[in-house]
Structure 1
Amino acid sequence: MKEKIKIFLDTDLLEKYLLGSTTTEESLRVERYIAMYPEVREAYNELQENLEIFAKMHALKTPQGLKEQILFRIRQEKRSRSKFYRFAVAASIAALIFAGATYFFYNQNKSLQEENLIVNSKIQDLENDMKIQLEDIRNQYIVLNNPNTRRFTVNGNKKAQELKAVAYVNPVKKLSYINVSNLPQLPEDKCFQMWAEVNGEMVNLGIIKQFDDKEKLLALPYADNAVSYITIEPQGGNETPTVQNIVANIKF
């Protein structure tokens, strides 16, 4: 019986159940194990508490003033449409006299509709960004709490001895992240840049900055036997890595 419980806990069904991504059959199995086995129930409660803490730490705030901007835009639209309808009625009585005014307000309404499309597009982009960030937070939670995750300590070479980082790799979920906890000081015209070798090609992962949040994780492309590098490049970054300026190798 103990072996059966251990096998169940080694799966990610509890995590999937908490995140609402289990099938109906998987959900029934999880609920049955939680009800029957105290060890599973205890693990479930612990995961639930960890997820709540993690979610609170990384809660996303709505951009300041977004609600007011949307309400202001709606009020503008209502006022403009009201004006348009009043002038349309007047134009129907004296079409020749008010033809110019009708045409003017038609253009105004068309312009307002175009602006509304832009506002709606920006709101949609914001929603998509929030979905991506929530998915990233979910993946970070899995990587940090899954027993299959492997941890690699990364140290800089002689060119950057103070560089300290930790890489987290989960071959089951095919996820990998890195936490750069310390970066040495560089001249103002230099910066650190990260790269990953994917399918034989070097992929630019962007410039690394000294984060105020020491727990911040950066996503890495996952691949079997992957290799990532940190180099010193000119300020603003480079299109290709400067091989002689490699300061750290990260092999999974």
Structure 2
Amino acid sequence: MKDKIKDFLDSDLLEKYLLGATSPEETARAERYIVMYPDVRMQFEELQENLEIYAKMHAMTAPEGLKAKILQRIRTQDVGRRKFRRYAIAASIAAFLFAGSSYFFWNQNMNLKDENTMVNNRIQNLEADMKQQLEDVRNQFIVLNNPQTKKYLVNGNEKARELKAVAYVNPVKKLSYINVRNLPNLPEDRVYQMWAEVNGEMVNLGIIKSIEDKDKLLPLPYGKNAISYITIEPLGGNQSPTVQNIVANISY
């Protein structure tokens, strides 16, 4: 029985259940274990508390005034549509006197459709961004709370002795993240840039812009026997790493 409970806890079923990502069969199994076994219930309650804390730490505030702008745009469209309907009725009655007005109203309608399409596209982009951010938070939560995650401490070499970072790698879920805790200061014309060598290919992970939020995790591409690097590059970054300016490497 203990092995059965241990296998259950070592899986990510509790995390998936907590995040609403389980199938009906998995949901029933998770709820049954939570009710039947105190160890599972304790682990579930702890994960609930961790997720609540993590969500509060990483809560994102919508840009100021965004909601008001969207509502104003919707109201503007509604007013425009009502105006168009009134104009269309009037035009149909007096069409024989003002034949040229039909083009004006057609153009008004096209403008309204274009504005509606633009607003819808912006909303869809916001939804896609939020979905991606939610998926990233979910993956970070799994990596930080899964017992199979491995933790690697990263220190800089003689070119950046004060550099400190922690890499988190979960070989089961194939997820990797790094938390850069400290970066030495650089001249204004130099920046730190991250790279990853995965399956023989060098991937540019971008410039490390700031470490003001020391709890932020940066995603790393996962690969068997992958290696990541931090280099010093010219301002704006480089297309390929400057090997002689490598200040840290992480093998995982």
Cα distance in structure 2, aligned partners of 1:97 and 1:129 = 51
The answer as to 2:184 corresponding to 1:181 is no
Mapped contact 1:87–1:102 kept (Cα < 8 A):
no
Q: Which residue of 2 aligns with 1:237?
A: 237
Q: Tell me how far 1:119 sits from its aligned partner.
A: 1.1
What are the within-5 Å matches in structure 2 for residues 136-151 of structure 1? 136-151=136-151
Cα distance in structure 2, aligned partners of 1:162 and 1:239 = 26
What are the within-5 Å matches in structure 2 for residues 111-126 of structure 1? 111-126=111-126
Q: How many residues of Structure 1 are paired with residues of Structure 2 in the alignment?
A: 252
**Sequence identity of aligned pairs in percent?**
70
Q: Alignment partner of 2:178: what SS?
A: strand
Q: Tell me how far 1:203 sits from its aligned partner.
A: 0.8
Q: Tell me how far 1:64 sits from its aligned partner.
A: 1.9
Mapped contact 2:191–2:234 kept (Cα < 8 A):
yes
The code of the aligned residue for 2:18 comes to L
Q: Tell me how far 1:52 sits from its aligned partner.
A: 1.3
Q: Tell me how far 1:3 sits from its aligned partner.
A: 2.5
Q: Alignment partner of 1:131: what SS?
A: helix
Structure 1 stretch 130-139 or stretch 102-111: which is displaced more? 102-111
Structure 1 stretch 142-151 or stretch 106-115: which is displaced more? 106-115
What are the within-5 Å matches in structure 2 for residues 192-231 of structure 1? 192-231=192-231
Q: Which residue of 2 aligns with 1:135?
A: 135
The code of the aligned residue for 1:100 comes to G
Q: Which residue of 2 aligns with 1:249?
A: 249
Moved runs in structure 1, 4+ residues, more than 3 A? none
Cα distance in structure 2, aligned partners of 1:91 and 1:29 = 66
Q: Alignment partner of 2:179: what SS?
A: strand
Q: Deviations over 1:32-89 (max 9, x none)?
A: 2211111111111111111111112212222222221122112222222222222222
The code of the aligned residue for 1:71 comes to L
Q: Which residue of 2 aligns with 1:22?
A: 22
Q: Tell me how far 1:209 sits from its aligned partner.
A: 2.4
5+ residue gaps, structure 2, are none
Q: Deviations over 1:171-191 (max 9, x none)?
A: 001000000000011110000
Q: What do you get for the CA RMSD once the two structures are aligned?
A: 1.3
Q: Which residue of 1 aligns with 2:2?
A: 2
Q: Tell me how far 1:118 sits from its aligned partner.
A: 0.9
Structure 1 stretch 88-97 or stretch 9-18: which is displaced more? 88-97
Cα distance in structure 2, aligned partners of 1:56 and 1:163 = 28
Cα distance in structure 1, aligned partners of 2:109 and 2:15 = 50
Q: Deviations over 1:71-124 (max 9, x none)?
A: 211222222222222222222222143222221121122012111111110110
TM-score (norm 1): 0.96
TM-score (norm 2): 0.96
Q: Which residue of 2 aligns with 1:42?
A: 42
